[in-house]
Amino acid sequence: MEYDGTDYAGWQIQTGRPTVQGTLETALARVCCETIRISGAGRTDAGVHASGQVIGFRSAWRHPVADLERALNAVLPAAVAVRELAVAAPGFHPRFSARSRHYGYTVWVGSVRSPLRARFAHQVKQPLDLAAMNEAAAHLVGWHDFATFGVDPEGKAGRGNTRREVMQAQWRLTVDDEGVWYRFDIEANAFLRTMVRTIVATLLAVGRGERTSADVRDLLLAAERRLAPPPAPACGLCLVHVRY
């Protein structure tokens, strides 16, 4: 799945609000003439995008799978698309079968606002200290309690429910004709709610010289949600890939 999440209230279906899940289920009902509940690999928040979301569903569809893919894309709105459709192996579940999720966060440097860039990137006014942000991000790799940076999506209490394994967390810089861009890539076995955006906000503070790498280490060890800064804007975040 690929979608522009700007105008959606997140992935998960909500009464009276446009969501990606609701949009997909409406399209499936229209094409398959049956009520279908889908599940996704990640519950992206309001305004968050995806280029590699994975979904699963059961249907009595009896025609070629390629026909279903074409039919869905014909009725889905422009902001949502099925990139690839296939019959899943027995027992496959897009969420519980996943080994890791990879998110990317894009930051653009500019002194004047840009409506087009603002849809998919968070704007900052001044260049950031790339080396300092990567030094701080290195503290996140491995098994840790990330309670400072997010909350358990299932609402379970207890410190053990906020432990996650991060496989990679790194910033890179790109300079092109469109400007100066920073891209943060993070991969983990699973994520807490708002975890990525809160981490990004913390690392951006390091890039601006407002925090240090040691501060990030201390925040991680503290496992106290009240110590976290507000999450970075949703516009820059994208679910890039799910690994199985």
157 has pLDDT over 60: no
Nearest Cα neighbor of 220 from 154, 160, 137 is 137
At residue 211, the pLDDT reads: 97
At residue 160, the pLDDT reads: 64
- Cβ count within 10 A of residue 80: 20
Segment 145-172 shows an average pLDDT of 86
121 has pLDDT over 70: yes
Query: First CA to last CA across the chain, in angstroms?
Result: 15
The radius of gyration of the chain from alpha carbons, rounded to an integer in Å, stands at 19
Q: Contact, 209 vs 120, CB < 8 A? A: no
Length of the chain: 244
- Whether 2-81 and 100-243 share one fold: the answer is yes
- Percent of the chain surpassing pLDDT 90: 93
Is 129 marked active-site?
no
Delimit the domains of the chain by residue range.
2-81, 100-243
Q: Contact, 158 vs 143, CB < 8 A? A: no
Q: Contact, 232 vs 200, CB < 8 A? A: yes
DSSP-assigned letters across all residues of 2-35: EE--TTSS-SS-BTTB--HHHHHHHHHHHHHSS-
Segment 61-66 shows an average pLDDT of 95
- CA–CA distance, 108 with 185 (Å, rounded to integer): 15
- Cβ count within 10 A of residue 151: 17
SS3 sequence, 53-120? CCEECCCCCCCCHHHHHHHHHHHCCCCEECCCCCCCCCCCCCCCCCCEEEEEEEEEECCCCCCCHHHC
Which residues 6+ apart lie within 8 Å of 62 measured at CB? none
Buried-exposed string 47-79: b where 16+ CB fall within 10 A, e elsewhere: bbbbebbbbeeeeebeeeeeebbebbeeebeeb
Backbone angles phi, psi at 123, to 5 degrees: -90, 135
Choose, from 45, 67, 215, 218, the residue flagged as catalytic.
45
Partners of residue 48 on adjacent β-strands: none
Q: How confident is the model at residue 135 (pLDDT cuts 50, 70, 90)?
A: very high
CATH architecture of 100-243: 2-Layer Sandwich (3.30)
What is the average pLDDT value for the chain, to the nearest integer?
Answer: 95
Q: What is the pLDDT of residues 64-108, one digit of tens each?
A: 999 999 999 999 999 999 999 999 999 999 999 999 999 999 999
Name the fold adopted by 2-81.
Alpha-Beta Plaits (3.30.70)
Q: What is the pLDDT of residues 170-208, one digit of tens each?
A: 999 999 888 899 999 999 999 999 999 999 999 999 999
